[in-house]
Amino acid sequence: MNFLRIAVILLLFTCFNIIVFGASLAHAHKISVFAWVEGDTIHTQSKFYGGKKIKNARIVIYDETGKQIDEGITDENGESSFPLGVKPPITIVVDAGMGHQGQWTIEKSDAGEPLVVETPANPPPAPSTGGQSVEPSFVSDYASNGCADVCEETLMQFYAVVDEIVDEKLSGMLSRLESGQDKQGPDMTQIFGGIGYIFGLAGVAAYVHSRRQNRNNH
């Protein structure tokens, strides 16, 4: 049976590809959503394949257990923001309608752990640099002046400011990185690779067919 043979070849080919590319299929979506945490806010960005922004799409946020915690709509730039209600991991699903859906998970490590501020009364073990402290000078100034409360407060403020600045700089970087990744669309290698695969398959089918014809002729 000729068609059975072709069907088997097609099936084997599909299975082979699923096995080979299996790992990447988990993230196989036509639309992409990208999310990051800035301070106590989640920012999301959604795009179609090729870079077109998805407007007015529904965004749903799920926690670790799959419980819905928030939902919203993307704006003109395909962006939306939510308060960070629960601790990561959080999954963000964008539903652009018409069967288009994509998701992104913010892992625990992406969000950063809340800072634990060490008070100078309980300083971190100094590295073996002859008992020299590596803390900023103003910290030791405060410590030597014996104003632990003021010190703690200042440190907290200091850390909060640093945190804010780093978040701000990182968010710009992240979104630039993301837009660069997504805009280029399909690759020439992929396109010609795909055409090559199809021609190859047609060749295999023709080969199987001609073998069968030869056998019938003998």
Partner 1 sequence: MHISEGVLSAPVLISGAILAAGGTAIGLKQLDYEKIARVGILSSAFFIAALIHVNIGPSSVHLVLNGLIGLMLGWSVFPAILTALVLQALFFQFGGITTLGINTFNLALPPLLCYFMFRKLLWRRKHVGLAAAFLCGFLSVFLSAILVGASLIFTEKNFWETASILVAANFPVMVIDGIITGFCVGFIQKVHPSLLPGYNP
In contact, 46 and 54? CB cutoff 8 Å: yes
Applying CB under 8 A, does 12 fall inside the site for partner 1?
no
17-36 residues near partner 1, rule: CB under 8 A: 17-18, 21, 25, 27-31
Applying CB under 8 A, does 206 fall inside the site for partner 1?
yes
Applying CB under 8 A, does 150 fall inside the site for partner 1?
no
Q: Which residues pair with 94 in a beta bridge?
A: 59, 102
Q: If 0-12 CB within 10 Å is exposed, 13-18 middle and 19+ buried, where does residue 150 land?
A: exposed
User: Minimum distance from CB of 161 to partner 1 (Å)?
Assistant: 41
Q: Give the ranges where 81-136 is alpha helix by DSSP (H).
A: 108-111
Which 3 state secondary structure label does DSSP give 16? helix
142/194 Cα distance (integer angstroms): 67
Query: Which tokens go with 106?
Result: 């913010």
Closer to partner 1 by CB, 64 or 149: give it: 64
User: Minimum distance from CB of 206 to partner 1 (Å)?
Assistant: 5
The contact pattern for partner 1, residues 74-113, with x = CB under 8 A and - = no contact, is ----------------------xxxxxxxx----------
In contact, 203 and 211? CB cutoff 8 Å: no
112 φψ region: left (φ > 0), alpha (ψ -120 to 50), beta (else): left
Residue selected from 112, 146, 172, 194 as contacting partner 1 according to rule CB under 8 A = 194
Positions that interact with partner 1 (CB under 8 A):
3, 6-7, 10, 13-14, 17-18, 21, 25, 27-31, 48-50, 52, 55-56, 96-103, 185-186, 190-191, 193-195, 197-199, 201-203, 205-206, 209-210, 213
